[in-house]
Amino acid sequence: MIELRKVVKVYGKGQAEVAALRGIDLSIDSGDFVAVMGPSGSGKSTLLNLIAGFDTPTSGQVLFDGNAVERPGPDRGVVFQEASLFPWLTVWNNITFGPRVQYLSRGDYEAKAREMTKLVGLEAFTEALPTQLSGGMRQRVGIARVLVMSPRALLMDEPFGALDAQTRLTMQQLLLDVWQKLGTTVLFVTHDIDEAILLADRICMMSARPGRIISEIAVNLARPRSIESLVAPEFAAYKSRIMSEMKIAHA
């Protein structure tokens, strides 16, 4: 579904030139859950932005279903670290914002919106404003707002990074449940080793800038997974391997 071929991204010119990505090759199949890790400044967010269509490569190709990515589209939903909700809109109106700006009739989106609202556990909060919600609940709204557009790929840039530890675990379990139910392709940027192992089928480790994918680790823990998987003996082995890869990435 997603393919990057020899992708290079350079910002600036001359002495101000900064190479963010250098020679990225990556393939992600439909239904995969892929995590991306690496040092700060390694180009993880740049990689996600290229796939989302927010930016274009300096050279190389970014493909979605075999077609060059040239702009954002509803087939690729993006979730950032901050939910960026409209504070003056209710939970329901935030979730249904996308269909409404596309001038879809209520009958075209209401059932889907209610399904996604229920899936993220917000049925009792549809009339609440974002200021009345916790950080985790606001992020649930952000996820539901993306899912109501039925994206084929979900691009997530450290979506739980600003949450406390307990809320983060809750949101990780929620994402696992959503992914296992919907089977949406996920590309997930994170700094958290435990999070990457718990969630992903495959972990791509990036080098320090200019970012390159220096290793890919297949996570063969049985599914369905839950936060109890964190104490599995196999989990510690993956964690040790990834910590070793991170030392190489920072070198």
Domain membership of residue 42 (yes or no) is: yes
- How far apart are alpha carbons 198 and 176 in whole angstroms? 9
Question: What would the 3-class secondary structure string for the chain be?
Answer: CEEEEEEEEEECCHHHCEEEEEEEEEEECCCCEEEEECCCCCCHHHHHHHHHCCCCCCEEEEEECCEECCCCCCCEEEECCCCCCCCCCCHHHHHCHHHHHCCCCHHHHHHHHHHHHHHCCCHHHCCCCHHHCCHHHHHHHHHHHHHCCCCCEEEEECCCCCCCHHHHHHHHHHHHHHHHHHCCEEEEECCCHHHHHHHCCEEEEECCCCECEEEEEECCCCCCCCHHHHHCHHHHHHHHHHHHHHHHHHC
Predicted pLDDT of residue 14: 81
42-47-49 Cα angle (round to 5): 125
Q: In a structure prediction context, what are the per-residue pLDDT tens digits for the chain, which is 251 residues long?
A: 999 999 999 999 888 899 999 999 999 999 999 999 999 989 999 999 999 999 999 999 999 999 999 999 999 999 999 888 999 999 999 999 999 998 888 888 999 999 999 999 999 999 999 999 999 999 999 999 999 999 999 999 999 998 999 999 999 999 999 999 999 999 999 999 999 999 999 999 999 999 999 999 999 999 888 888 888 888 999 999 999 888 877 76
Domain membership of residue 221 (yes or no) is: yes
Predicted pLDDT of residue 117: 96
Domain membership of residue 199 (yes or no) is: yes
- How far apart are alpha carbons 39 and 205 in whole angstroms? 9
Domain membership of residue 131 (yes or no) is: no
Give the CATH number of the domain where residue 205 resides.
Answer: 3.40.50.300
Q: Which of 249, 242, 170, 177 is nearest to 209 (CA)?
A: 249
Predicted pLDDT of residue 251: 67
Domain membership of residue 214 (yes or no) is: yes
What are the backbone dihedrals phi and psi of residue 200, each rounded to the nearest 5 degrees, phi first? -95, 155
- For the chain, the residue count is 251
Number of domains the chain is built from: 1
pTM: 0.94
Q: Which domain holds residue 9?
A: 2-75+151-250
* Backbone dihedral region for residue 38 (phi beyond 0: left; psi -120 to 50: alpha; all else: beta): left
